[in-house]
Structure 1
Amino acid sequence: MAWVKQHNLLACEAIAYNGKPCHDMDSLLDALHGTYNAASRWQCDLAILDQLDPSLEWDWPPFSWKEMMDALLACSSRSAPGPNNIMWSHLKRTLLIEDVMEKFLAIADACMKVGYWPSHFKESVLVIIPELEKPTYSTPKSFRPIALLNMLGKVIEKMISTCLQFDCVKHEVFHPNQLGGIQQRLTKDAGILSKQGFPAHVCWFFASYLVGRGTRYLRNLFSSDLRSTDMGVGQGSALSPVLCNILSYVNDGTLIIQHKTLEDNLPPLREAYRIMFNLFNVFGLVMEHNKSELFHFIHQCDDANLPIVLNFEPFMAASSLKPKTFWRYLGFYFNQTLSFQEHFRYYSTKAISTVCMMEMLGNSLRGLTPKQKRILYQACVVPIVTYGFCLWYNDFARCKGHLQSLTKMQCHAAIWVIGTFRMSLTGQCEALASLIPIHLHLRKLASCATYRVTTLSRTHPVRSLMGRPDTPGAHMHRWHINNLGTKAFLATKSTVVDVAGKLPRLMEAFNTDSDEAHPGNQIMDVFSDRISFHPRPNGASANEQTTLLDITLLKAKGKEHSAIVACDSSVPQDSTEQALAAARVWIGDHMVKQTCQASSRAMASDAELHAIRASIGMATAIAGVDHIYVFMDHLPSAEQAVDLGIHSGQWRSLEVCTRLRSWLGADPVRCVSFISVNSKLKWSVHQNIHKYVSDQSFSVVCSWHLATSLAYLHMAKVAACRDEWNRLFTMSKYLRRGFLCLCDNNDKDIKPSYLGGGTCLKHLETPTLCARVCHCVLNHTPIGAFRAQFNLSNKVGCPCGSPLQTREHLLTSCTRVFEQDYEGAPTCFQQVIDFCKKDPWMFSFVPFLTE
């Protein structure tokens, strides 16, 4: 946590450029401009593109208000303003005005149709700030340029970037090995776009966008004149990452050569480097040889670590490139045998040091509350520990030592959260601090990472390596795991192989790049004014809500050509039965259709989505219906039904959107209204469908080949980890002796949980109260029995006259304690809390009382 340490002032040095110091502002600005725009002197030969066949051209839909709002909501209101001093908070308020929004979208659409980017949006300010932890500040590369762009232009760029990424992933413009700046893949010229299938007006737009750009350099209080920055894809723009992948292809590249010996590896690696160097020169791109790194992956650590001579001017002419012992790439640390020991060592050490530094933020007397400490640990330390954990945590890895180190780290954090002694045991502290054991947390995260593979696009590189036959349209890698053979498959120790063995074959399917999901062409983009959602009125009483529902129902019945739909779902308690979804349709007072369908293994939200799908399907099939009223008790499911993002039950949303698009597009007067109903009201229309779907005669038993929803799998894994924690909690080896087992206010045994703020921690408001209660529960408390155990003092008796001051004595029979509200020993956790609140000195570090 570097922010709590004292920062040394940066050394004042003269910046040197091309061997000459910069003593005035003109020379300094020339040095900065020459460094950050070094590619301006490189020539580009696009004749090589003539060998490529142009791809089929696809459509580019107009922008919608939903795209604009999604772009705005993703922006922080506290970001630095643009050159015109307009901030995101200003735009978020201004663009909500309907007239302003319509004119803004008209400008954005006109820019794309005409193929023109206004010059006002091309100007930027480049603020130069020093980078931290640089050994010297005598070169321009020791400083970082921060680009400030026009905010209105950035909103349009964000919308264009979203559309570009969707089209490039869908139409396989991105190579499977491109992993940066692309959705779901995190870690120069318009002629290239025309070869890749982009519409002509999009190519014209980027022909205008990429030229005529200028920037002003700002260093302290000095500002330069406007200087041309026509090269590259621009800094600070939302389009920079995706354009870099489309036009430049690569920023950080990796050349991989595989042979049986290192001696056989070096010549083809040198030749591959030469080919890439010459190819980049043709495109006007620069390979910085001084940033090249060499790393050998070998089976045995005692093999020779041979260097390589690349023979490229001016950096690598005669000097050899020496291989590294450890290789840092995209935040991952690789060692030669791919055991990832260095990766774990680095991040575990960083996590442990962070936990140690957090102690200055609070202790058992003052500072952060226990809840805040727990949140801080989960937000700042757990992400550090789990970064890239799938590299070393799988069924093939030997990670027992890693887990022991992480368990010690979490025990340290748990002790800090609850304020107990350092000798307190791990299981006891984790239970009181509501921190799930780290090995169970990693098991849960690994399972969720496995399930996420099915949500990736069909062009994702992991898909090509998995070789799944149930992925239509996916191109398999030539070395995908299905081609390895049984013997090689079993011998391969890889996370991909581990995922392939665990991935359920009966999970639901996802479609991330369907035509319905295209930005600007989604159902809410095209028909946003004809699909409405009506939530429950805030603060309204039950009678007022019922009256409003009755009025809406009468309005629907009195309106000609309207259909009234009620839908609901039911998830049985028995895990061997399927969830159910039901829907009924009325025309006036006459019920015309009803259905009750099984929803497989699903959560309540999945079953509600199934019910909406069934109700929309029945209502749109009735001839002459112009308005559909859907009454339901879970409005977020209705919003999810028209959202084609990645979520559980996405295939049902796709069917709903397809059906609604066809039905709404056939007649401009058609519309759909989703009305939320409070199930506690037992309103007649919704209550009848609720009884209908809850009928036990409709129950369906799950079969072995039944599909399972993504949400159900996540819930099952969370429940399995929670049950395993509860099982450990009942074992004496985990809790050891001395732990005071209590019950809750309902006389049920307290079980550890990390959900909802935890089981115990949410009742302990202050650090002092938390520490004293935990001292009591753990029996690690500064009383006579503790002193007797460790021979700390001869004063082991209680001031009331008892020869030995124990926890049981203080809780049950000590005459100096206030009168208890219970008989005998406390059995409820709340009783222990009340006991400690009445006696502020109890179980705390106070002078030993002799009277």
Structure 2
Amino acid sequence: MQGKVKSTVMEVDECVHTLTESFEPFAPEARPGDQLLDHYADRLHFDERDPTQDRRPYLDELIAKARADPLTVLAATDGSVPQSNQYQAALAAIIYKGHRELKRTRYVSGRVTAPDAELNAISCAVRLAVKQANCQHIMVFTDSMGRAHRAVDPGVHSGQAFSLSVCRALQEWFEVDDFHRITFVYVPSALRWDIHGEAHKYVTELKARVGRHKTDNSIDALRSQAAHSVLDSWNSTFQDPTYRGSEFLELQQPDGQLLQPSYLNGGPWLSTFGHSITEFARVCRCITGHTPIGAYYRCFKINEPHGCTCSAALQSCQHILFRCRDRYSVHYPRFLGDIAAFMKYNPTVFGFNRDPSGVGQSLWAGLFLLLGDLW
């Protein structure tokens, strides 16, 4: 069957054997009631991102206080995934007390995603920090707070082994002293700030090519590869007019390239018009040509008038958008924003004349939303 069927679904069987990551679905640390957050939630702190805050002065003041405390250990972490597939992902962790550097380490992480590398870096930093003498407070500076939360989540996920190592190390460390605590601090990567900037520089200097032998990877890395494969196949198929429909309205991206389907944020069409079911239904009819107008009636032999209200012989989408004298249009609609403007100035176009808010409207909206999900 594999020899006959070619699709992204069949690629699962081809790629799953390359997975090097292992999981512990029944790890003791993951049992409800026995997890790290169940016992030590008051000792785990997350200094989250505040969009309204100027982060640099805040971080400068925070690290100045931390450096003055002889019982505080600082850890800077960062992960790096090169744009070229020829190189492996890398991670780095640097440990400080005061202004003195205690330890730094970096190593390659194989073919993994950026979040995987960040999680690995946090795991490395925590395991190094808990080994330092005279330490009651650990501060981990990271640009990925999502991975910081994931680091203390022992459930099954990509990079679970790193999370389990963090949970085990912190649990042992917390049990030693009731004053032990850890804080994860968000640092915007673009700041290249202080010790985190040093960790970023340290990790990006490490360049390791992918060798001939089997390279470590993660489940999220395989998912990412599958997603890109699906998109490539989808975009290729989308070029065929018989697939997308002969009347499909071709629109452009801001860079001039043709608008392509995507699963990100619901795709370009849904993310632009998805706030309103009614508007999205009208846009779907406009773009696909499946709309209650003369050209559609003629194509499907529906006993309705084929002409336009402006006396044109055939009421088509092209006619409505570019030539109809009864509707407002300033220029050729090349972008989704142009379609939005056209809909705004023509609130009844591509709608149902008989009952625009009734059963027909809901039926068409539901149908096209369903088709959007199938895409």
TM-score normalised by L of structure 2 = 0.79
Q: In the aligned structure 2, how far is the partner of 1:628 from the partner of 1:642? A: 14
2:259 maps to which of 750, 753, 759: 750
Change (3 A) 1:729 1:599: same
Deviations 1:148-170 (A, max 9, x none): xxxxxxxxxxxxxxxxxxxxxxx
Matched, 1:645 2:155: yes
Matched, 1:541 2:63: no
Which protein has greater RCO, CA pairs closer than 8 Å, 6+ apart? 2
Matched, 1:592 2:102: yes
What amino acid does structure 1 have at the position aligned with 2:105?
Answer: T
Q: In the aligned structure 2, how far is the partner of 1:559 from the partner of 1:786? A: 75
Q: In the aligned structure 2, how far is the partner of 1:518 from the partner of 1:803? A: 71
Matched, 1:715 2:227: no
2:286 maps to which of 770, 773, 776: 776
2:22 maps to which of 509, 512, 536: 509
What amino acid does structure 1 have at the position aligned with 2:219?
Answer: L
1:582 Cα offset (Å): 1.1
Deviations 1:389-426 (A, max 9, x none): xxxxxx58x99xxxxxxxxxxxxxxxxxxxxxxxxxxx
Greater CA drift, 580-589 or 748-757: 748-757
CA contact (8 A) 1:571 1:604 kept: yes
Aligned counterpart, 2:345: 838
Q: Which aligned pairs between 1:263-412 and structure 2 lie closer than 5 A?
A: none
Change (3 A) 1:841 1:645: closer
Q: In the aligned structure 2, how far is the partner of 1:740 from the partner of 1:794? A: 23
1:632 Cα offset (Å): 1.1
Change (3 A) 1:658 1:739: same
Change (3 A) 1:531 1:770: closer
Q: Which aligned pairs between 1:577-656 and structure 2 lie closer than 5 A?
A: 577-656=87-166
CA contact (8 A) 1:582 1:595 kept: yes
Q: Over alpha carbons, which structure has the higher Rg? A: 1
Q: In the aligned structure 2, how far is the partner of 1:512 from the partner of 1:684? A: 39
Aligned counterpart, 1:685: 195
Deviations 1:176-221 (A, max 9, x none): xxxxxxxxxxxxxxxxxxxxxxxxxxxxxxxxxxxxxxxxxxxxxx
Aligned counterpart, 1:295: none
Change (3 A) 1:841 1:687: same
Q: In the aligned structure 1, how far is the partner of 2:290 from the partner of 2:266? A: 24
2:86 alignment partner, SS class = coil
Q: In the aligned structure 2, how far is the partner of 1:731 from the partner of 1:511? A: 45
Q: In the aligned structure 1, how far is the partner of 2:212 from the partner of 2:287? A: 46
Matched, 1:761 2:270: yes
2:334 alignment partner, SS class = coil
The percentage of counterpart residues that share the same residue type is 33
Number of aligned positions between the proteins = 351
Structure 1, unpaired ranges of 5+: 1-394, 400-438, 448-498
What amino acid does structure 1 have at the position aligned with 2:76?
Answer: A
Deviations 1:49-77 (A, max 9, x none): xxxxxxxxxxxxxxxxxxxxxxxxxxxxx
1:799 Cα offset (Å): 5.0
Q: Which aligned pairs between 1:818-829 and structure 2 lie closer than 5 A?
A: 818=328, 820-822=329-331, 825-829=332-336
Q: In the aligned structure 1, how far is the partner of 2:262 from the partner of 2:286? A: 20
CA contact (8 A) 1:561 1:625 kept: yes
1:698 alignment partner, SS class = coil
Change (3 A) 1:556 1:800: same
Cα RMSD (Å): 3.3
1:552 maps to which of 56, 62, 78: 62
1:645 Cα offset (Å): 1.4
1:649 Cα offset (Å): 1.0
Change (3 A) 1:846 1:540: closer
Deviations 1:439-480 (A, max 9, x none): 97xx39x95xxxxxxxxxxxxxxxxxxxxxxxxxxxxxxxxx
1:687 alignment partner, SS class = helix
1:508 alignment partner, SS class = coil
Q: In the aligned structure 1, how far is the partner of 2:321 from the partner of 2:30? A: 64
Deviations 1:750-781 (A, max 9, x none): 22233323321333354543343333222334
Change (3 A) 1:703 1:611: farther
CA contact (8 A) 1:578 1:702 kept: no
Q: Which aligned pairs between 1:93-108 and structure 2 lie closer than 5 A?
A: none
Change (3 A) 1:640 1:762: closer
What amino acid does structure 2 have at the position aligned with 1:733?
Answer: T
Q: In the aligned structure 1, how far is the partner of 2:171 from the partner of 2:277? A: 57
1:701 alignment partner, SS class = coil
Aligned counterpart, 2:78: 568
Deviations 1:351-376 (A, max 9, x none): xxxxxxxxxxxxxxxxxxxxxxxxxx
TM-score normalised by L of structure 1 = 0.38
1:743 alignment partner, SS class = coil
Q: Which aligned pairs between 1:407-426 and structure 2 lie closer than 5 A?
A: none
Aligned counterpart, 1:140: none
Structure 2, unpaired ranges of 5+: 355-375
What amino acid does structure 2 have at the position aligned with 1:541?
Answer: Q
Deviations 1:578-618 (A, max 9, x none): 22211112221122322222111212221111111221233
Matched, 1:660 2:170: yes
CA contact (8 A) 1:506 1:706 kept: no
Aligned counterpart, 2:360: none
Change (3 A) 1:749 1:507: same
1:742 alignment partner, SS class = coil
